[in-house]
Amino acid sequence: MGEYSTNNMNEQMIFGIHPVLEAMESGKSIDKVFLKKGMEGDAGRHLMDRLRFYKVPFQFVPIEKLNRLTGKNHQGVVAMISPVEFASLESLIQSIYEDGETPLFVALDGVTDIRNFGAIARSADCLGAHGIIIPFKGSAAVSADAVKTSAGALMRLPVCKVPNLHESLKFLVDSGLRVVGFSEKAKDDLHVANLSGPMVILMGSEEDGISPELRPLISEMLKIPMRGKTASLNVSVSAGIALYEVWRQRNIEV
């Protein structure tokens, strides 16, 4: 029998080695697994092998953190079950092309705030994006709180959680998409760019921007022109403006 704990909006937490193994084998979407630092033994090694096989992100944490998450016998393992079923990027891009549509994705590099993530998902869903791409590590949790912040958009918009954002973006470039990055330091304004073709809107974190290793994949770096004294926009606001400009260009009357 699996061990489950449920809080708001049916977000679930599973604890114990065998319950987590059962969850993976049954196809549940696991957002993240916390393992006790120094975990040893055959059962622990087998669990880590299966986590790698299913490409489930995990991290080692002090046992005190696991004890705070649940007071029950967690055996050094706590898994957070996502309320969202993650999508395959490869299958998704294929279906978009088969439907004769022009692909539009939003990729998030280092966006860890749940409210920003939810707000971006809401804008992406409203403005015709086909999906959001996030990496296993360094991204906001796809949790019940994120779903709530997105006004339910995360239950409708495909979310692709990928092991390596660089490799996924390269796959999309090879599939005919342009990667368009956004930074307040860019030279070209958003509204003068051609945003009508297949593309990925790449947004970095507010603190560090887009990671250096991703920049060679970017075909165009754009900025949102501003007149006020504030140096930059919130990342979710920037994403919403960028998505609207894409929508406007794709739907403008000619």
pTM > 0.85: no
| Integer Cα distance of 45 and 55 in angstroms | 15
Residues in the chain: 254
H-type alpha helices, the chain: 17-25, 42-53, 63-69, 89-98, 114-126, 144-149, 165-174, 235-251
pLDDT at 27: 76
Domains of the chain: 4-81 (3.30.1330.30), 89-251 (3.40.1280.10)
pLDDT at 12: 78
Q: Which residues contact 243 (CB under 8 A, 6 or more apart)?
A: 106, 123, 124, 127, 128, 129, 201
The 10 Å Cβ neighbour count of residue 191 is 13
pLDDT at 215: 95
Per the CB < 8 A criterion, the answer to whether 239 and 197 are in contact is no
What is the Cα gyration radius of the chain? 20
Mark the ranges of the chain whose per-residue pLDDT is less than 70: 1-11, 253-254
Per the CB < 8 A criterion, the answer to whether 114 and 140 are in contact is yes
